[in-house]
């Protein structure tokens, strides 16, 4: 498989050759991320969701939040969050209302349909053989990824500017 063909793996897994075992770990991680991301995006699309929408629903699972608060938690701009909320609202996954304490603020709340979509996405991620269900120990794998991201992030933060 030639460089740059990583996205094709998601659509043609039967053509992944034995050379995959010889790839450097960084490339394995990169290809795995792209394959899982594409498959997960396809799954989410069948439920009228995007990856950004899924993350937003995750942050709404514990209760309503302001649009600004969601933007901060999701690490996006207010404008991006506004578009994500618009999409979720049109799909029936969230409802918006005026904040009772501050009429200038909009409060966003997950709906029962949004909770079902979030639960289905979490279940699919964990149990699907085409996503992370193929991993022997899901919880251990998650902890390893978190450790990897934390280590890489702290290393980036310590680099001289």
Q: What is the mean pLDDT of residues 35-64?
A: 93
Q: Is the pTM of this model over 0.85?
A: no
Q: What is the mean pLDDT of residues 22-37?
A: 88
Contact of 150 with 138, CB cutoff 8 Å: no
Per-residue model confidence (pLDDT) at position 117:
94
Query: How many other β-carbons are positioned within 10 Å of the β-carbon of residue 35?
Result: 20
Tell me which residue of 137, 141, 113, 124 sits closest to 48, measured CA to CA: 113
Per-residue model confidence (pLDDT) at position 160:
57
* pLDDT per residue as tens digits for the range 82-104: 999 999 999 999 999 987 777 78
Per-residue model confidence (pLDDT) at position 1:
45
Residue 101's φ and ψ, nearest 5 degrees, are -90, -30
Least confident of 51-60, 61-70, 98-107: 98-107
Sign of the four-CA dihedral 41, 47, 48, 53: negative
Q: Residues 37, 146, 93, CA angle at the centre, nearest 5°? A: 50
Higher-confidence residue: 108 or 5? 108
Q: 4-10 long-range CB contacts below 8 Å, 24 or more apart? A: 6/30, 6/31, 6/34, 6/35, 7/34, 7/38, 9/34, 9/35, 10/34, 10/35, 10/38, 10/39
Higher-confidence residue: 65 or 21? 65
What percent of the chain is predicted at pLDDT more than 90?
47
* pLDDT per residue as tens digits for the range 141-154: 889 989 988 998 88
């Amino acid at each position: 498989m030639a460089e740059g063909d990583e996205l094709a793996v998601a659509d043609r897994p039967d053509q992944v050759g034995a050379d995959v075992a010889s790839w450097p770990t960084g490339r394995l991680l990169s290809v795995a991320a792209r394959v899982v991301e594409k498959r997960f995006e396809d799954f989410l699309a069948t439920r009228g969701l995007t990856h950004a929408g899924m993350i937003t629903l995750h942050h709404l699972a514990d209760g309503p939040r302001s649009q600004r608060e969601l933007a901060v938690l999701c690490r996006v701009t207010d404008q991006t969050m506004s578009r994500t909320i618009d999409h979720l609202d049109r799909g029936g996954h969230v409802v918006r209302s005026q904040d009772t304490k501050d009429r200038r603020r909009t409060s966003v709340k997950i709906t029962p349909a949004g909770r079902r979509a979030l639960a289905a996405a979490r279940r699919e991620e964990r149990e699907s053989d085409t996503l992370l269900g193929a991993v022997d120990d899901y919880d251990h794998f998650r902890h390893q990824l978190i450790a990897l991201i934390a280590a890489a992030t702290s290393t980036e933060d310590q680099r001289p500017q």
